[in-house]
Amino acid sequence: MTERNGYQVIAGRLADEVAELAPGTKLASEHELMDRFGVGRASARAAVQELERRGLVRRVRGSGTFVNRRIDYVISRERRPSWHRTVESAGAVPRSTVLSSQLRPVPERCAHYLGVEPGTEVHHMRRLRFVDDHVAAVGEEWVKRDALTELGPAMRIEESLDELLRQMGRVDVVRSWCRTAMELPSEEIQAALEMNYVAPVWVVESINRDAATGTAVTYSTAWMRADVIRVVMEIGDTEPAPNIALHR
Amino acid sequence: MTERNGYQVIAGRLADEVAELAPGTKLASEHELMDRFGVGRASARAAVQELERRGLVRRVRGSGTFVNRRIDYVISRERRPSWHRTVESAGAVPRSTVLSSQLRPVPERCAHYLGVEPGTEVHHMRRLRFVDDHVAAVGEEWVKRDALTELGPAMRIEESLDELLRQMGRVDVVRSWCRTAMELPSEEIQAALEMNYVAPVWVVESINRDAATGTAVTYSTAWMRADVIRVVMEIGDTEPAPNIALHR
DNA sequence: GAGCATTTGTCCGTATGTATT
DNA sequence: CAATACATACGGACAAATGCT
């Protein structure tokens, strides 16, 4: 008698093992799991899919199953989130590419946020963010022209927009408003995030304003893959405890 | 020629249909889908499971597959979230039950939050929340004794703790700090939420303080099923636009 | 570039278990 | 008790992507 099996039991066992492995490590293939646990392919497969649902592994057709790494992205009033710093401090390799950068007339909703007439030309930028060369997020940013004369060449570097505005434009940008939720992505976003399946993604909208004048300067929306990023959002005037371990 | 199929295509078709149906409506069974789309059980099943992953349906063994309803739970600095009001305004039926209510010595972390000695006796309460008689959330609340002499009998009613403190205790409670994230639930929480599978849940921690004195009065943690509740979190001093339709 | 083995993705048919009605 | 419906499982097959030769 081997033991009572069931794919849930196998998944639990594998989950324990995966917890001990470094991100990127390759797991046993479905065939190997079949032999190891004495089950059919359906069960072996179901177990690994269970791990995928839990966000513990990432599967690549033709290649294998790998231990996943998820990064905490903390959003709070005070903190200025930097993609590179966040990813690096998690021990991963950050990268970002500029997909497009140009002047564009603002769509209606954005115009409202920035407090300008719809159709006004503002800087518009799309960026892709990577973690360990895996697509993690796409973002869209709108910047009023009076905050910055030109955006294109300056943004070649891997810097945050806030940083740039503080240096190039002489604006002290502070977060004015931010909303986070999860949604099913549009097909466009899904394609940009290279998701070949439908799953909820984080949507982070934010408005930054000039600390001096109080007027809105940038509006941005970011879509983040939930299997790569875990958004943690904090509201509050007090930092309650430094030693909170949220995710074991 | 019928058409090219694939469970993703079937799922897409079904998703469109489900969008038109009222929450609670029963879907066609897997057998019926087999006949309708001319596929095997595996494909019909995969399609419906896809809808479940998207949060569009809820499946009950022995009973069937039903159109799901997900409720937005908005957390912001200003707003005092009321379970009953939130659920009701979404057109659903709220309910909550008190699992336990007693004086208990605070655990370490909570003591730190409330600013009391570990082991001090405070009110402790566990509540279960329902939406349309489906388990939606479990919460744990800690209240300092000086804010309220007795908690038990008063909380039989379906009211918010904030409300009670404002009436019984003469305390004006304001949200001081709040953190939201998603985590894989512990087995205990999973059981309380009646989840027979493992999936991430919302974790909302918050500290409320007396507006007058500024000292912390309550600390609470809530775990919410992501298939029932969608947490939206807002940080900000401005309400940017009244007409934002987040979820189509 | 072509060819090949590996690995996951999709699908079929069938069967049995288990909860609900 | 019986019918229904979802959950789990087996074995087999081919497709598609990847990586190596």
H-helix segments, chain A: 7-19, 30-37, 41-53, 83-89, 108-114, 161-167, 187-192
CA B152 to chain CA centroid, Å, is 23
d(C-alpha A70, C-alpha B183), whole Å? 11
Q: Is B198 in Cβ contact with A236 (below 8 Å)? A: no
| Residue in A closest to B174 by C-alpha | A236
Average pLDDT over residues B101-129: 88
Whether nucleic acid strand C comes within 7 Å of the CB of A31, the answer is yes
Q: From the CA of A247, how many Å to the C1' of C11?
A: 38
Residue A231's Cβ-side half-sphere holds a number of Cα atoms within 13 Å equal to 25
Nucleotide nearest to A59 (CA to C1'): C8
Taking only the tens place, the pLDDT of each residue in A52-107 is 999 999 999 999 999 999 999 999 887 777 888 899 999 999 988 888 888 899 98
Give the range among A23-32, B1-10, B235-244 with minimum mean pLDDT: B235-244
Whether nucleic acid strand C comes within 7 Å of the CB of A246, the answer is no
CA of B96 to nearest chain A CA: how many angstroms apart? 25
Split at pLDDT 50, 70, 90, the class of A185 is very high
State the fold for domain A71-233.
Chorismate lyase (3.40.1410)
Residue B175's Cβ-side half-sphere holds a number of Cα atoms within 13 Å equal to 18
**C-alpha pair distances (Å), A222 with each of A84, A105, B114, B200, B230:** 15, 19, 35, 21, 18
pLDDT of residue A147: 73
pLDDT of residue B154: 57
Sign of CA dihedral B189, B193, B197, B199: negative
Q: Is A177 in Cβ contact with B232 (below 8 Å)? A: no
Burial of B97 (0-12, 13-18, 19+ CB in 10 A): exposed
pTM for the model stands at 0.89
Long-range contacts of B187-194 (CB under 8 A, 24+ apart): B189/B138, B189/B223, B192/B128, B192/B135, B192/B138, B192/B223, B193/B135, B193/B137, B193/B138, B193/B223, B193/B225, B194/B135
| Residue in B closest to A77 by C-alpha | B235
A109 vs B contacts (CB less than 8 Å): 241, 244
pLDDT at B5 over 70: no
Q: Which of B50, B177, B240 sits opposite A240 (nearest CB)?
A: B177
pLDDT at B50 over 70: yes
Q: What are the phi and psi torsion angles at A100 (to 5°)?
A: -155, 155
**Cβ B30 vs Cβ B44: under 8 Å:** yes
Please give the structure tokens belonging to residue A173.
Answer: 């940008």
CA B135 to chain CA centroid, Å, is 9
Q: What is the CATH number of domain B3-67?
A: 1.10.10.10
Split at pLDDT 50, 70, 90, the class of A2 is very low
Give the range among A237-246, B60-69, B80-89 with minimum mean pLDDT: A237-246
pLDDT of residue A27: 95
pLDDT at B4 over 80: no
Taking only the tens place, the pLDDT of each residue in A190-235 is 999 998 888 999 999 999 888 888 888 899 999 999 999 999 999 8
**Cβ B123 vs Cβ B116: under 8 Å:** no
B199 vs A contacts (CB less than 8 Å): 53-54
| Residue in A closest to B243 by C-alpha | A109
Split at pLDDT 50, 70, 90, the class of A176 is confident
Smallest Cα–Cα separation from A106: which of A217, A182, A32, A247?
A217
| Residue in B closest to A49 by C-alpha | B198
Considering A45-59, A81-95, B103-117, B209-223, the range whose residues carry the highest mean pLDDT is A45-59
pLDDT at B220 over 60: yes
Taking only the tens place, the pLDDT of each residue in B226-241 is 999 999 999 886 655 5
Q: On chain D, which bases lie within 7 A of the protein's CB atoms? A: 3-13, 15-19
Would strands A216-225 and A201-210 be described as parallel, antiparallel, or unpaired?
Answer: antiparallel
d(C-alpha B141, C-alpha B164), whole Å? 13
**C-alpha pair distances (Å), A185 with each of A30, A116, B207:** 30, 28, 33
Q: From the CA of A57, how many Å to the C1' of C20?
A: 35
Whether nucleic acid strand C comes within 7 Å of the CB of B8, the answer is yes
CB atoms within 10 A of CB B76: 18
Split at pLDDT 50, 70, 90, the class of B243 is very low
Q: From the CA of B90, how many Å to the C1' of D17?
A: 44
Find the length of chain B.
248
Protein side of the strand D interface (CB < 7 A) = A 5-8, 38-43, 46, 60-63; B 27, 29-31, 41-42, 45, 48-49, 59-65
Domain boundaries along the sequence of chain B: 3-67, 71-233
